[in-house]
Amino acid sequence: MKTMFATLLGAAVLVVGAVHLSAHHSAIAYDRNADVELTGTIREFQYTNPHSWLYVQVVDKTGQTVDWGFEAEGPSTLLRAGIKVSLLKPGEKVTVKGHPLKDGRPAAILVSVTKADGSVLSSDAALRRGPGGKPIDTQ
Amino acid sequence: MHVLLRPIAAGVAIITVCLCVPRTVAAQEYEKWYKLSEQQFLELKQKARGGTKMTWDKLPDWTGVWTHDGGTRFDPKIPNYAPTSAKLTPEYRAKFEKKLADQKQGVEWDHLSYCLPAGFPRWITEPFLREFIVRPEEVWWINEQQSEVRRIYIDGRGHVPEDEAYATWTGDSIGFWDGDTLVVHTINNKEGQYNRGQPDYSDKVSTVERIRKVSADVIEDDITVYDPLSLVEPWHVVNRYVRVKTPNLRINMWSCEENNNVIKTQDGSTQFILKGETGYKDPNALITGPGGTQAPK
């Protein structure tokens, strides 16, 4: 529990890259103008079509444990972005950024995942970083 | 005709006119536009002197994994949710404007969320991975999404006979080779939309495509769309597919039902059932797990 904490930031606090989610659904339920940044522990990484979902257990301001779901693209798109299923394992501590649902439920479109070693995984090439947060060559 | 029968005959005539005229006009209009696309296809075939006879050693090399360039735009020059370059009929212009207005009000739905196929010609814009299987008598154009295969027959056959034809998700495609360019005529499509934030098309839509590899890493699809119900003139666009060079990447079976928890709301918009909520379909429990609809006792 000591290793888990959550930070929920309000709208426009973070400046994140424009997110393009190739989806089989409208993104109308998400608030693209709002951002969340949460730190917690990976519960599950559903590496699936039509979308992958990264579930992260966080502790909210009231001390309650909440599972947040972050929706991402399917496996082939994630692979093209260098996001292999083996890189995000249950039990791993991560900081995740995303655009939340408008209705306040704990889910968001995934923007980026920062791992404990400082590397950043993202479909947005401009956000990707290697260990220690160092820039990496993007394809 | 007996004098007493005349009013009945007149009534029958009026009813017949009322029932048949709109259909006849639409059919004539469709015939005219279908002939336009067929005419373009046949003119291209004539210009190619009936088409290039393909053998295994002459086939162009379209091997590799490809993806649509330019997001999900049907006209890559025009962003989604922006004024279209298509010259729409008043009816489809109004539908498109309502779609954009609804989206601004937070209401948007896509039939893909029911895990249905995209349909053609929207299929042209679908994201994810593509593959071309080129044979002398047939070309398969594979789309990762929904594991769809678009079959283009180039063995000289015509379209499906009219009395056997029906609308399908990828249409009825026949073609020929003009050197290294594959020329394709497609009819018998279902109605649909070019994508979210783009106009709709009717089930009378038909297309003529000229597909060719323009460089080592780019395949170009030059498309003219004909649709008497949605367009006032044919719509010409050029779409490109670029080679995907990610190491070890393969096109795998793509099941939309594997993890689809999207629902349509009462107002016709899009929402999600989240993990732990009633109705959530857990991808880990679809095959062997508990739950699901109980059989009546």
B118-156 pLDDT, tens digit per residue, is: 999 999 999 999 999 999 999 999 999 999 999 999 999
A25 and B112: CB-CB below 8 Å? yes
Which of A22, A32, A49 has the most B C-beta neighbours within 10 Å, making it the best mutation to test the interface with B? A49
What pLDDT does residue B17 have? 35
Helix (H, G, I), strand (E, B) or coil at B108: coil
A24 and B256: CB-CB below 8 Å? yes
| Residue where the block lists tokens 């089989």 | A24
B108 and A28: CB-CB below 8 Å? yes
Helix (H, G, I), strand (E, B) or coil at B259: helix
**What are A71's strand-pairing partners?**
A53, A109
Nearest by CB to residue A26, choosing from B246, B254, B270, is: B270
Angle at B289 between CA B286 and CA B294, to 5 degrees: 85
What pLDDT does residue B32 have? 64
pLDDT of B24 over the 90 cut: no
Q: Are B92 and B199 in contact (CB under 8 A)?
A: yes
* Closest chain B CA to residue A43: B275
B128 and A24: CB-CB below 8 Å? no
pLDDT of B83 over the 80 cut: yes
What pLDDT does residue B286 have? 86
Ranges of beta strands (E only) in chain B are 66-69, 129-134, 138-143, 148-153, 172-178, 181-187, 192-193, 200-201, 206-215, 218-226, 235-243, 262-264, 270-272
Count of CB atoms situated within 10 Å of the CB of A110: 25
pLDDT of B29 over the 70 cut: no
According to DSSP, the β-strands at B66-69 and B138-143 are unpaired
pLDDT of A3 over the 70 cut: no
Q: Are B118 and B145 in contact (CB under 8 A)?
A: yes
Count of CB atoms situated within 10 Å of the CB of B16: 10
Q: What is the least distance, in Å, from the CA of B150 to any CA of chain A?
A: 19
Q: Are B211 and B219 in contact (CB under 8 A)?
A: yes
In terms of pLDDT, which residue wins out, A9 or A25? Answer: A25
Count of CB atoms situated within 10 Å of the CB of B179: 11
Overall size of chain B counted in residues: 297
pLDDT of B208 over the 90 cut: yes
Nearest by CB to residue A107, choosing from B255, B270, B274, is: B274
pLDDT of A18 over the 50 cut: no
Q: Predicted confidence band at B2 (pLDDT cuts at 50, 70, 90)? A: very low
B110 and A24: CB-CB below 8 Å? yes
* A138–B contact, CB cutoff 8 A: no
The 3 state secondary structure assigned to B45-57 is HHHCCCCCCCCHH
Q: Which residues of A touch B109 (CB under 8 A)?
A: 26
Provide the percentage of residues in chain B whose pLDDT is more than 90.
82
For the ranges A67-71, A132-136, B68-72, the maximum mean pLDDT occurs at: A67-71
Which of A20, A22, A26 has the most B C-beta neighbours within 10 Å, making it the best mutation to test the interface with B? A26
What pLDDT does residue B152 have? 98
Q: Specify the pTM.
A: 0.85
What integer is the mean pLDDT of A111-124?
97
pLDDT of B20 over the 70 cut: no
What integer is the mean pLDDT of B201-219?
97
A50 and B259: CB-CB below 8 Å? yes
Compute CA distances B58 → B116, B141, B157, B179, whole Å. 37, 19, 21, 9
Q: Are B133 and B139 in contact (CB under 8 A)?
A: yes
Count of CB atoms situated within 10 Å of the CB of A82: 17
Which of A46, A76, A79 has the most B C-beta neighbours within 10 Å, making it the best mutation to test the interface with B? A76
What pLDDT does residue A96 have? 98
* A7–B contact, CB cutoff 8 A: no
What pLDDT does residue B235 have? 97
B259 and A67: CB-CB below 8 Å? no
The ipTM estimated for the assembled molecules is 0.84
Q: Predicted confidence band at A137 (pLDDT cuts at 50, 70, 90)? A: low
| Residue where the block lists tokens 């370059």 | B85
Helix (H, G, I), strand (E, B) or coil at A10: coil
Model confidence over B155-196: pLDDT tens digits? 999 999 999 999 999 999 999 999 999 999 999 999 999 999
In terms of pLDDT, which residue wins out, A90 or B21? Answer: A90
Q: What is the least distance, in Å, from the CA of B269 to any CA of chain A?
A: 8
What pLDDT does residue B18 have? 36
Model confidence over A70-108: pLDDT tens digits? 999 999 999 999 999 999 999 999 999 999 999 999 999
Q: What is the least distance, in Å, from the CA of A132 to any CA of chain B?
A: 24
Q: What is the least distance, in Å, from the CA of A19 to any CA of chain B?
A: 12
Average pLDDT, chain B: 89
* Closest chain A CA to residue B110: A25
Helix (H, G, I), strand (E, B) or coil at B86: coil
Nearest by CB to residue A49, choosing from B127, B196, B259, is: B259
pLDDT of A68 over the 90 cut: yes
Q: Predicted confidence band at A11 (pLDDT cuts at 50, 70, 90)? A: very low
Interface of B with A (CB under 8 A): 71-72, 103, 106-110, 112-113, 115, 127-129, 144-145, 196, 244-246, 248-249, 251-252, 254-256, 258-260, 262, 269-272, 274-276, 283-284
Q: Predicted confidence band at B287 (pLDDT cuts at 50, 70, 90)? A: confident
* A127–B contact, CB cutoff 8 A: no
* A77–B contact, CB cutoff 8 A: yes
In terms of pLDDT, which residue wins out, B11 or B148? Answer: B148
